Amino acid sequence: MQNRLALLGGEPVRREAPPTYRTLGDEERSAVNAVLDSGVLSQFLGTWSPDFFGGPRVQALERAWEQYFQVKYAVSLNSATSGLFAAVGAAGVGPGDEVIVSAYTMSASAVAAVVYGGIPVFADIDPQTFCLTPETIRPLIAPRTRAIIVVDLFGYPADIAAIKALAKPLGITVIEDNAQGPGASRDGRVAGGEADMTVFSLNYHKTIHSGEGGVVTTQDARLAERLQLIRNHAEVVVQQKSPDIAPEELVNLIGFNYRMTEIEAAIAAEQLKKLPQLLKRRQDNAATLMRELVDLPGLTMPRVEPGIAHGWYVFPMHYAAAATGVPRARVAAAMRAEGFPLGEGYVKPIYWQPMYRKGIAMGSEGFPFSLARAEGRLPDYHAVLCPVTERMHTSELLTGDLVHAGWTDGDLAQLIAAFRKVFGQLDSLRAEGA
């Protein structure tokens, strides 16, 4: 007879906190000390000079990133959010232009359009991969569509080749937000080389990190140059670099300070070396959970298509309350009581945020939404724009940071025991919830 569920007064499977994810070690410490010994914490100058491109460690990180991800150009920044903003700017998005983006992701993917006066048009996700697809994108393409931001949600690499085949003939730029899946690949091609630009994150809870930081990759020399200019005070530098630059080339060259420090670059370079082993551990842990939990009632394991190497930022599962008679919230609460946090859904659909519902961003007049509203093409952000996204969030998806490299075999064994304990006593959860 199984122990009584902790939620109902029994002993939990685990009392201590779940394992933490720590990837920093002696290599990073030595790299930081070398930066401190050099006395150069940053070497960027906002003028057209050799130091416009940053210090030696920033540039070394970019060269290493190019080699690893098989791209011609890598541009480092102080965050992936800055990378998204710079990519949208480099793409030439302007006031009233439409940018198709997932409704189920971190808000910066959509805000990147708003900061340039663009209008986010939210596309639904595939219920299995959680990514945008040509089928979810195609009905939303319109004359003002300027870019598509495709998110590799939870680390699953979207089908960028198929999306580019749809976008390229129409002159639409494809930006890949791969913050959650560095090292993920499709048919042997590592994510980061097929989109017009791909944005990576080095935020502290990502697979590899430098506390904060980001990198944007591209195969296009012009886009790389625009990314570098936007990163580092473009409006000043462009005049020094190209005094006779054509007016159309000045579009969005309003400069920012999106520059990475030498310390962040030194840490990130060491982290990049660890990516293969950190990613393999995530993949191995995910494989263990899929094998051990596949028979639990009402729970469906994530599907990974042939040829996909998943990044496994989190572990997403489908839950069918209709099959068990137990609400999702009740199951999640039972797992948390056993010592393992399990989230209900992921983030709220972005268009539920007040900025979209009220149509106000820049200034009290509602810019940029006022532009599309005046032309009768503002999306109705109060509507159910993305039914799959809403279903995942409100009723079907269970997620958890359950497979990172900090999870040992022993930790996973306890996690699996907790799942089996909870799903083996669904009758008691039904009775208590009646």
Average pLDDT over residues 222-230: 97
- State the amino acid at position 217 in one-letter form: T
| Mean pLDDT along residues 314-338 | 97
Residue 119 has a pLDDT of: 98
Residue 243 has pLDDT above 90, yes or no: no
Q: Which of 300, 302, 348, 293 is nearest to 322 (CA)?
A: 300
Indicate the pLDDT class of residue 433, thresholds 50, 70 and 90: low
Give yes or no for residue 434 having a pLDDT over 60: no
pLDDT at 132 over 80: yes
Q: For residue range 31-54, list pLDDT tens digits in order.
A: 999 999 999 999 999 999 999 999
pLDDT at 388 over 50: yes
pLDDT number for residue 56: 97
How does the average pLDDT of the chain come out, rounded? 96
Of the candidates 308, 314, 266, the one whose C-alpha atom is nearest the C-alpha of residue 289 is 314
Mean pLDDT of 224-249: 89
User: In this predicted model, what pLDDT tens digit does every residue of 165-177 receive, in sequence order?
Assistant: 999 999 999 999 9
pLDDT above 70: percentage of residues in the chain: 99
Average confidence (pLDDT) over 213-234: 97
Does the pLDDT at position 239 exceed 90? no
Q: What is the pLDDT of residues 348-386, one digit of tens each?
A: 999 999 999 999 999 999 999 999 999 999 999 999 999
- In the numeric block, the tokens 């996204």 are attached to 389
431: confidence class by pLDDT, cuts 50, 70, 90: confident
Q: What is the pLDDT of residues 281-300, one digit of tens each?
A: 999 999 999 999 999 999 99
**pLDDT recorded at residue 46:** 93
Residue 271 and residue 273: Cα distance in Å, rounded?
A: 5
Q: Is the dihedral of CA 268, 270, 273, 278 positive or negative?
A: negative
Instruction: Give me the sheet containing 119-123, strands edge to edge.
Output: 73-77, 214-218, 197-201, 173-177, 145-151, 98-102, 119-123
Q: For position 2, what pLDDT does the model report?
A: 57
Q: What is the mean pLDDT of residues 317-344?
A: 97
Q: Which CATH architecture has domain 26-270?
A: 3-Layer(aba) Sandwich (3.40)
pTM over 0.85: yes
- The domains of the chain are located at 26-270
Asked whether residue 1 carries a pLDDT value surpassing 50, the answer given is no
How far apart are the C-alpha atoms of 356 and 115, rounded to whole Å? 13
Backbone angles phi, psi at 76, to 5 degrees: -85, 150
State percent of the chain over pLDDT 90: 95
In this predicted structure, the answer to whether residue 425 has a pLDDT above a threshold of 90 is: yes
Which helix (DSSP H) or strand (DSSP E) does residue 101 occupy? strand 98-102
Residues 6+ apart with CB under 8 A from 262: 35, 38, 40, 41, 42, 43, 54, 55, 56, 57, 58
Residue 121's contacts (CB-CB under 8 Å, 6 or more residues apart) are 98, 99, 100, 101, 140, 142, 145, 379
Does position 410 have pLDDT exceeding 90, yes or no? yes
What is the structure's pLDDT at 271?
98
